[in-house]
Chain A
Amino acid sequence: MKNNINKIKRYMVAVFVVFLFNTSIVCAQPVKLIKGESFLIEGVYYSDISIEFSFSRAYLQALNSGLVFDINLDFLIVNVKPWRIDQEIGQLSQNYTIKYNAFTQRYTTLNTNTGRERSYPTIETTLRNLGTINKFPVVDDSLINIDESYQVFLSASIKAQGVPQWIKTLTFWRDNLDFQTEQTQWPLFK
């Protein structure tokens, strides 16, 4: 009896490990690296941001199947105060959608903030262009005290449109293609 229980326990552990392994394969992170730096031009702080997207097979399959992905970049400018609570100076977000057109066989990106649409023949080109953001205006110099320390925080999130929440709930053990990165930070100025 005890042996049987031990066998069942071992079997359950094995199933759990396999489940975790499978899950880890499916859930490959679509955003690998975020880098950024800020600079001041004519009273405005800008940032050059480099995001390395790496869509896994599941993402590509979903994209090519017709799913539209929302890519949101959330910026946060914080006045970092040692020994005190940090002060939030401002926040802004940059939102994109990316989709694949089966007719044109091109990937289209749309900046929903500006309405600017671009199409690319390959996903690599699309993601590379999407991940390269140059001279992005962050904050006005008038809001900044040069004697203090400021940090720019950026987190990126990817979300598949058209997948109902209940499906996500019921298939909680599967990759639901939604992803949120940790916050990356860099100083507003050195």
Chain B
Amino acid sequence: MATFQIKQKITKKIIFLLLGLSAFSLFALMFASDNPEEFNRLQTPILLVNTVSFFVLFILVALSGQQLVNDYKKGKLGAKLRLKMTLVFGMLSIIPVVVVFFFATNFMNKGINVWFDAEVETGLTNALVLGRSALDEQIQEGLLKSTNMSLQLTSIEEIDQQLHTLRESSLALELLVLTRELQIIGQSTQTLSGLNSRLPTKAEIIQADSKQSWTSLDASAEGAYLVRVLVPILGLSSNEMPLYLQSMFSVDPALSMMAESVEQTYAKYGRLTFLKIPLQYSYIFTLALVVLLALLIAVYGSIEFSKNLVEPIESLEEGTRLVAEGDLDIHLPRAGKDEIGILVNSFNVMVKKLASAQTEASESRKIIEHEKTTLQSILSGLSAGVIVLDEKQNITLINPAASMILNVDAEQYIDCNVKNIIKTNDLFSQFISKAISKIEHKKSWREKITLDLTDSTREIMCSYRELLSSTKRAIMLLVFEDISDFLKAQQEAAWSDVARHMAHEIKNPLTPIQLSTERIRKRYASMLKADDLDFLSKSTNTIINQVELMRDMANAFGEFAKDPELQFENLDLNQLLNEAVSLFEEEKNTEYFSLVLDNKVKLIEGDVKRILQMLNNLLTNAIDAVVGVKKPKITISTKLLTKQGRAFVELNVMDNGHGFNKKALRSAFEPYFTQKTKGTGLGLAIVRKLVNEHNGWVRVQNNPDQGACLTIIIPIKRERKTNS
């Protein structure tokens, strides 16, 4: 672009230089025409300069015109206007110039023709004839003198003397007596005449013979005229050797000068007449060159003018288009101080302000984006769920914790109105429905919301606050936390505490009771009759059995309350399962266990004692569950799972027993809850405690057809806490 502009500038400089030279040369031509020599000297180089200027200008105009036509054909914006303006301006200049050229040529030709008027030529010819007639008198006089002198020559002797005398008397410049063969017999020449004498030609001799005389008028180089007369000398001639007298007389100097003047004028006029047509052509050619130069300048000027006029409009259009496309990094070139220039300046100012505003907006957007990212990071990092509603109760934000707690894909609910959400019946809609019912009454509250699941409930502690945004719009903020586990843990802790106290308080008096009962039976057994002894034995046995039962219960509570440090080691779960099942089959004399073990499950990290206790409880529960079933069946399976890059083992204990009722499903893992007629109700509670200790999960569900399935998921490798 820069190179193109430099080239344009150089081109313009060359044009102006050539035009300046042309103008200068034309002026020089005009002034030099007063001095013909100067005119002749300058004319050729001047014409050369003008011709070069013409061709350079012609090429420039042709190139510019071609560019213009190409732009027009391509439909380039502004080309049509440029072409139209060029044509209009061009025609406006061409028409008057052509008219002027036509009339100027006509007038010039007429003017030149006037110079060569026929009357002038006739006048000159007449002057020539008049001069000749005047000179004819001199010739006749010379002829007369010569004829007389030829008659006076009677003897060949002392011919030079005779000639001298005759020349003196006749005022002749030269007298020659010569033969037909041009042999000079006698001669007399004026000493100071400076005459460049010449002998007659043979033709002249013949003329003199036939006409008895021959005359001629000679012009000398100095402009003087000489009369030459050749006559035969009859008195001296013989048939064998005719003699001739050649006389030369000078014409009267005044007459000679006038004749010379007339002759020169006539010759000059003749030359001019001869040069008339070339002169006309030359003038027409020069005028045509000037006119063409003027025309080309006008056309080139019109092209440049229209270009300069339309260019800012084109650049404005281009600028507008770029701005529309979002490019604000443009600055249109200055376009003078006229209205278009003001418009271009205004456009530049506008674009500058727009760019500034865009930069500010961009900065603000960056800040907002940064703050948003920060907020999102905070929200993502929060363990509490956050849901934000706008004033129309459209959901504007759901953080990942909320998605996890409510088991929902957050993205699909963004910008959804809560009224549309509560029509569904999932966990999320339950929560929203319950929260909305409270929102409508209070602007700020904190309450526990219980959500019902198929086999359990979920306790959500929710806080609500209605805030106002910077634009004074209401923002509804729901912050909530799943406290189900917390509550369960709290409950478990309470139960553990109770169990520990119970185990301690119950176990302490049991031994004295048992010992006292045995002592009573021992002391009074010998003293009592058979009937009384039988009664005593039965009663003490009952007491002892009940004490045993109470001890077992106390042991179970003690076991539940235990919180020992786990001893993790690598253990083969499949092998433990095989051993446990074999033991149970032997002990219970049953054969309805089936094992479906995943070979991929190798070693897991766990406390062997606790895992064995967990398996014991599970298998006991399963056996109890299938009591009374026609074809009891307990399937134990393991499976290797991978979740989020971590390996887990899934253990399923599935029976075809009676399954759990709805209440039992929810409370299956609660301590002291049992569907059985006997037992402590701590089996599954202990299982969950053990699973939790291994960082695992446990769930129970009824099978679709019959029985229930208890699923345990524990990690293969325990999670080691690091400082980070």
Asked if A169 and B47 sit within 8 Å, CB to CB, the answer is yes
Interface residue? B271 (CB, 8 A): yes
Asked if B278 and A67 sit within 8 Å, CB to CB, the answer is no
Chain B residue nearest in CB terms to A129: B201
A63 to chain B, nearest CB (A): 9
Asked if B218 and A167 sit within 8 Å, CB to CB, the answer is no
State which residues 185-221 of B face A: CB under 8 Å.
196, 198, 203, 216-221
Interface residue? B382 (CB, 8 A): no
Q: Which residues of B contact A165 (CB under 8 A)?
A: 40, 43-44
Chain B residue nearest in CB terms to A115: B221
Interface residue? B128 (CB, 8 A): yes
Interface 9-mer from A2-10, A83-91, A97-105, A130-138? A97-105
Interface residue? A82 (CB, 8 A): no
Q: Which residues of B contact A66 (CB under 8 A)?
A: 266-271, 274
A104 to B135, CA, bound (A): 10
Interface residue? A171 (CB, 8 A): yes
Interface residue? A95 (CB, 8 A): no
Among A64, A118, A167, the one with the most B-chain Cβ atoms within 10 Å of its Cβ is: A167
Interface residue? B279 (CB, 8 A): yes
Chain A, residues 93-136, CB within 8 Å of chain B (1/0): the string is 00000010111101010100001111101000100000000000
Chain B residue nearest in CB terms to A102: B266
State which residues 253-293 of B face A: CB under 8 Å.
259, 262-263, 266-271, 273-275, 278-279, 281-282, 285-286
Asked if A65 and B274 sit within 8 Å, CB to CB, the answer is yes
Chain A residue nearest in CB terms to B125: A102
Asked if A162 and B270 sit within 8 Å, CB to CB, the answer is no
Interface residue? B65 (CB, 8 A): no
Q: Which residues of B contact A118 (CB under 8 A)?
A: 198
A102 to B43, CA, bound (A): 31
Asked if A171 and B273 sit within 8 Å, CB to CB, the answer is no
Asked if A170 and B282 sit within 8 Å, CB to CB, the answer is yes
Interface residue? A164 (CB, 8 A): yes
Asked if B263 and A108 sit within 8 Å, CB to CB, the answer is no
Q: Which residues of A contact B281 (CB under 8 A)?
A: 170-171, 174
Q: Which residues of B contact A101 (CB under 8 A)?
A: 219, 263
A163 to B269, CA, bound (A): 13
Asked if B40 and A117 sit within 8 Å, CB to CB, the answer is no
Known A-B contacts A65-B270, A102-B266; A163 and B47 likewise in contact (beta carbons under 8 Å) = no
A174 to B285, CA, bound (A): 13
Q: Which residues of B contact A117 (CB under 8 A)?
A: 196, 220-221
A125 to B202, CA, bound (A): 12
Interface residue? B131 (CB, 8 A): yes
A51 to chain B, nearest CB (A): 20
A64 to B43, CA, bound (A): 27
Known A-B contacts A66-B270, A119-B219; A170 and B285 likewise in contact (beta carbons under 8 Å) = yes
Chain A residue nearest in CB terms to B220: A117
Asked if B198 and A164 sit within 8 Å, CB to CB, the answer is no
A153 to B281, CA, bound (A): 38
A101 to B266, CA, bound (A): 10
Interface residue? A28 (CB, 8 A): no
Known A-B contacts A110-B221, A165-B44, A174-B281; A102 and B271 likewise in contact (beta carbons under 8 Å) = no
State which residues 118-165 of B face A: CB under 8 Å.
128, 131-132, 135
Chain A, residues 130-152, CB within 8 Å of chain B (1/0): the string is 00000000000000000000000
Q: Which residues of B contact A171 (CB under 8 A)?
A: 278, 281-282
Q: Which residues of A contact B128 (CB under 8 A)?
A: 102-103
A163 to B43, CA, bound (A): 13
Asked if A167 and B219 sit within 8 Å, CB to CB, the answer is no
Asked if B279 and A103 sit within 8 Å, CB to CB, the answer is no
Asked if B278 and A102 sit within 8 Å, CB to CB, the answer is no
Partner of A67, one of B36, B135, B271: B271
Interface residue? A62 (CB, 8 A): yes
A167 to B198, CA, bound (A): 39
Asked if B286 and A119 sit within 8 Å, CB to CB, the answer is no
Q: Which residues of B contact A170 (CB under 8 A)?
A: 47, 278, 281-282, 285-286
Asked if B270 and A64 sit within 8 Å, CB to CB, the answer is yes
Q: Which residues of B contact A108 (CB under 8 A)?
A: 219
A171 to B216, CA, bound (A): 39
Known A-B contacts A165-B43, A166-B44, A170-B47; A102 and B216 likewise in contact (beta carbons under 8 Å) = no
Chain B residue nearest in CB terms to A161: B271
Chain A residue nearest in CB terms to B198: A118
Asked if A102 and B282 sit within 8 Å, CB to CB, the answer is no
Chain B residue nearest in CB terms to A170: B282
Interface residue? A61 (CB, 8 A): yes
Known A-B contacts A102-B267, A103-B131, A108-B219; A167 and B274 likewise in contact (beta carbons under 8 Å) = no
Partner of A167, one of B217, B259, B266, B279: B279
Chain A residue nearest in CB terms to B262: A103
A171 to B271, CA, bound (A): 16
Asked if A106 and B274 sit within 8 Å, CB to CB, the answer is no
A102 to B262, CA, bound (A): 9
A108 to B218, CA, bound (A): 9
Interface residue? B225 (CB, 8 A): yes
State which residues 21-69 of B face A: CB under 8 Å.
36, 39-40, 43-44, 47
Among A66, A101, A118, the one with the most B-chain Cβ atoms within 10 Å of its Cβ is: A66
A116 to B220, CA, bound (A): 11
Q: Which residues of B contact A174 (CB under 8 A)?
A: 278, 281
A103 to chain B, nearest CB (A): 5
B603 to chain A, nearest CB (A): 97
Q: Which residues of A contact B135 (CB under 8 A)?
A: 103
State which residues 213-236 of B face A: CB under 8 Å.
216-221, 225
A164 to chain B, nearest CB (A): 4
Asked if B259 and A103 sit within 8 Å, CB to CB, the answer is yes
A94 to B341, CA, bound (A): 74
B52 to chain A, nearest CB (A): 14
B261 to chain A, nearest CB (A): 11
Q: Which residues of B contact A169 (CB under 8 A)?
A: 43-44, 47
Q: Which residues of A contact B282 (CB under 8 A)?
A: 166-167, 170-171
Q: Which residues of B contact A162 (CB under 8 A)?
A: 271
A65 to B132, CA, bound (A): 18
Known A-B contacts A64-B270, A66-B266, A67-B271; A167 and B131 likewise in contact (beta carbons under 8 Å) = no
Chain B, residues 682-720, CB within 8 Å of chain A (1/0): the string is 000000000000000000000000000000000000000
A171 to B274, CA, bound (A): 13
A183 to B221, CA, bound (A): 32
Chain A residue nearest in CB terms to B271: A66
Chain A residue nearest in CB terms to B204: A121
B564 to chain A, nearest CB (A): 111
A65 to B268, CA, bound (A): 8
Asked if B218 and A104 sit within 8 Å, CB to CB, the answer is yes
Known A-B contacts A167-B282, A169-B47; A119 and B271 likewise in contact (beta carbons under 8 Å) = no
Chain A, residues 53-75, CB within 8 Å of chain B (1/0): the string is 00000000110111100000000
Asked if B271 and A103 sit within 8 Å, CB to CB, the answer is no
Known A-B contacts A167-B278, A170-B47, A170-B281; A106 and B218 likewise in contact (beta carbons under 8 Å) = yes
A116 to B198, CA, bound (A): 10
A116 to B196, CA, bound (A): 8
A64 to B281, CA, bound (A): 22
Asked if A65 and B40 sit within 8 Å, CB to CB, the answer is no
Q: List 28 A-B contacts (CB under 8 A).
A: A65-B273, A66-B274, A67-B270, A99-B267, A102-B263, A103-B219, A103-B263, A106-B216, A106-B218, A106-B219, A108-B219, A116-B196, A117-B220, A118-B198, A121-B216, A164-B36, A164-B43, A165-B43, A166-B39, A166-B44, A166-B47, A167-B282, A169-B44, A170-B47, A170-B278, A170-B281, A170-B285, A171-B282
Q: Contacts A66-B268, A165-B44, A174-B281 known; list 12 others, CB within 8 Å.
A: A65-B273, A67-B271, A103-B217, A103-B259, A104-B216, A117-B221, A119-B219, A121-B216, A165-B40, A166-B43, A166-B44, A167-B278
Interfacial residues, chain A to chain B (CB-CB below 8 A): 61-62, 64-67, 99, 101-104, 106, 108, 110, 115-119, 121, 125, 162-167, 169-171, 174
10 pairs of A and B residues whose beta carbons are closest in the complex:
A66-B267, A166-B43, A65-B270, A66-B270, A65-B274, A170-B282, A164-B40, A171-B278, A104-B217, A66-B271
